[in-house]
Structure 1
Amino acid sequence: MSEFEQNGLGTLDWVLILAPYRKDASYTAALLHEHKIAARAASQADLPDFLAAHPGVLVVTHEALNSDTTGVIACFLRDQPNWSEIPIVVLVDRTAPRSTIQATLSREWPRSRLLFYQRPVAALELISGIQSALLARHRQREFRDYLARESELRLELDHRVKNILASVLSIFDMTRRGATTIEDLSNDFRGRLTALSNVHSAVFLAGGEEVPLDDVADSTLSPYRSEEPTRISIEGPRVLVRREAATTLALCIHELATNAIKYGALSRPEGRISLRWDLSAPSNPDLMFSWTEMGGPAVVEPSRAGYGTRYIRSALAGLFTTSPDLAFDRSGFRCSVRGPLSRVSLKH
């Protein structure tokens, strides 16, 4: 923590006083403190350090306006960020050449908002003017924060769009390699894009970087659960998964459902599917994920793994760091995998 933070002086929230003669500096600081306004007095020597701490308002008496002081302040004003415009309160004596001082400072300090007060100035008038100036600085700070958020959001949007496009290209390439006809390519590609779209919608609705796993499963399998009673059961505790993990799991669930429609349980009216997940010991839990088919045609292990099977093996192994178990049991296909919950969730 800096010296200024230790003294309760936050960025743009305090007043810097430059008044070298008599007790002007201590009097002004005491007056501001009485009205709950943080203030510090600076000498010409330590003025650069105080300016670097970003005061909200600068109060300067005309006696302090020598060439060295105006030069230091001019450099500070020149280097201000675009959102910043520090108000400078100039206290001038009745006998001082105010018009000359004003013309000189306007020329030397083009990026400043000059507020002139003639001494002796009423305390309430000065306090009111400084409070208004600090309020203006507060608005500037809000604008600064808004610009920072906008910049961060643009970078995040750029990153996510690139990731989505990379996913789409990858899906297309893998679909193209496994397709034998244009119709197969079109149907499979459309289905995978729909699964990708559904999981992105679920993440958006969740409003964060994680999404409930049951939302991922529901959104991906909803096209296949329109019948009553449903032939696909989904069950598991509430688990939040990262955006990238949600995308991977959604695409794997989509591939499992597609294979079940073509060759497995969903190809028969009596077929059923159970999608389950669970957690092991709470101290360092594993996530156990399983897909079980029942009531479909007799299962025969294919002589050559298709795109869906290859993708499921590769994607789940990459996500959980352990290879999934794909069992082509005669009574029904099963897919299960187990791995550290920390691989898919930010909270662990």
Structure 2
Amino acid sequence: MTDDIQDRATLDHVLVLAPYRRDADYLRQLLTEHDLDVRICSTGSSVTPFLEASPGVLVATHEALNPEVVSAVGAWLATQPGWSEMPIVVLLDRSSQQARVKAALVEAWPRARQIFYQRPVTPVELVSGIQAAFLARLRQRDVRDHIDREIELRRELNHRVKNILASVTSIFEMTRRGADTLEGFSGDFRGRLRALSDVHSAVFQADGEAVSIQEIVDLTFEPYRLPGHDRFATGGPPIMLNREAGTTLALCLHELATNAIKYGGLSAPSGQVSFTWGVSGDDVWSRWEETGGPPVVEPSRQGYGTRYLRSALTSLFGQAPVITFDRHGLICEVRGLQSRVSRNS
């Protein structure tokens, strides 16, 4: 299930704790009439499995609040993530010591948003309160999604910045080794940094214009090329990409180049990279292959870069890439319908 479907299957139901059948039946009928999904935990049933199903709202009658249930709910609340503040609607008896009960529950359930009603309560008031609790729960979920997305964006930004710095460091070292004078070094280094920036300007700010694979390839690899010692062999037919496809391809090539500089074919002086592409029927394909670097060993776990490549290329081409950790050099191959990436898609 997707996260959204899973949320609807869990957070969007009411768990009713009611030991008396008449209360359970009444609450089920009332809430069901207002299109609320209701699950009942009655006397003799353990509340823990019901809580683990992550209800959106918990409704408990006064009679259900025995020490075992209060303790079980408190233990479950303690395991909830920081974004979660469980709405709990408590139906208190008129004759009970309400202030005492409320104080005890606030202490036992600090991670809950508690709403108290004195019975008898009108159906309209009760349903309105539960629906309001549902809206609060959904807002909590929105906050959770925002936090998760922000964390992911920070991780991606951190990864991108590290890769850019690694690229700049590599460009610096390559330029330094080939420079005879400080003036020559300064000019070459400045030019390569400008070329690194060009790919961002040409692709990431294309404003909907199409861009050719060849242009992306040239701009992406230009900072790493040295006069008389081109370590990139590239080639393929003219293919125009839409902006989204061009952006994704540029990011993936930058990811592969950075990885090759750090660990692969471009980490050794004699290393080479081949990037080719073509059209076969309705499909477009590409192949990245490294040679001349240190022996390749498949990593024990996928890093962020590999996860990004798999996800981005699968989304772009509609098929997962084949990444081979051949001992002679990394190989990354992918293919998919040309209509997914062309300027007219």
Task: Give yes or no for TM over 0.5.
Answer: yes
* Distance across 2 between alignment mates of 1:78 and 1:61: 22
Question: Deviation string for 1:64-113 (max 9, x for gaps)?
Answer: 11110100011112222111111110011222221221121112112222
> Residues 192 and 345 from structure 1, CA distance in 2 versus in 1: closer, same or farther, beyond 3 angstroms?
farther
Q: Return 90-99 or 211-220, whichever deviates more.
A: 211-220
For 2:21, what is the secondary structure of its paired residue? coil
Aligned counterpart, 1:335:
none
Q: Is the Cα contact below 8 Å between 2:77 and 2:109 reproduced in 1?
A: yes
Q: Is the Cα contact below 8 Å between 1:77 and 1:112 reproduced in 2?
A: yes
Q: Is the Cα contact below 8 Å between 1:199 and 1:246 reproduced in 2?
A: no
Aligned counterpart, 1:236:
238
The 5 A counterparts of 1:194-233 are: 194-205=194-205, 213=213, 216=216
Aligned counterpart, 2:11:
12
Letter in 1 for 2:81: P
Q: Is the Cα contact below 8 Å between 2:62 and 2:92 reproduced in 1?
A: yes
> Residues 177 and 216 from structure 1, CA distance in 2 versus in 1: closer, same or farther, beyond 3 angstroms?
same
Letter in 2 for 1:11: T
How far apart are 1:202 and its partner, in Å?
3.9
Are 2:122 and 1:153 equivalent residues in the alignment? Answer: no
How far apart are 1:37 and its partner, in Å?
1.1
The 5 A counterparts of 1:84-233 are: 84-205=84-205, 213=213, 216=216
Aligned counterpart, 2:79:
79
Aligned counterpart, 1:26:
25
Q: Is the Cα contact below 8 Å between 2:285 and 2:335 reproduced in 1?
A: no
> Residues 212 and 118 from structure 1, CA distance in 2 versus in 1: closer, same or farther, beyond 3 angstroms?
farther
Runs of 4+ in 1 over 6 A off after TM superposition: 217-221, 248-251
For 1:189, what is the secondary structure of its paired residue? helix
* Distance across 1 between alignment mates of 2:213 and 2:188: 24
Q: Structure 1 length as normaliser, TM-score?
A: 0.64
For 1:55, what is the secondary structure of its paired residue? coil
Question: How high is the sequence identity, in percent, across the aligned residues?
Answer: 49
State the aligned residue count.
257
Letter in 2 for 1:238: M
How far apart are 1:154 and its partner, in Å?
0.9
> Residues 179 and 14 from structure 1, CA distance in 2 versus in 1: closer, same or farther, beyond 3 angstroms?
same
How far apart are 1:205 and its partner, in Å?
3.1
Q: Which runs of 5+ in 2 are unaligned?
A: 222-236, 259-275, 293-316, 322-331, 338-345
Q: Is the Cα contact below 8 Å between 1:213 and 1:246 reproduced in 2?
A: no
Q: Is the Cα contact below 8 Å between 2:284 and 2:335 reproduced in 1?
A: no
Q: Structure 2 length as normaliser, TM-score?
A: 0.65
Aligned counterpart, 2:279:
280
> Residues 156 and 123 from structure 1, CA distance in 2 versus in 1: closer, same or farther, beyond 3 angstroms?
same
For 1:185, what is the secondary structure of its paired residue? helix
* Distance across 1 between alignment mates of 2:256 and 2:52: 50
Question: Deviation string for 1:23-78 (max 9, x for gaps)?
Answer: 21122022111101111111363311111121111100010111101000111122
* Distance across 1 between alignment mates of 2:251 and 2:8: 42
Q: Return 241-250 or 153-162, whichever deviates more.
A: 241-250
Higher radius of gyration, 1 or 2: 1
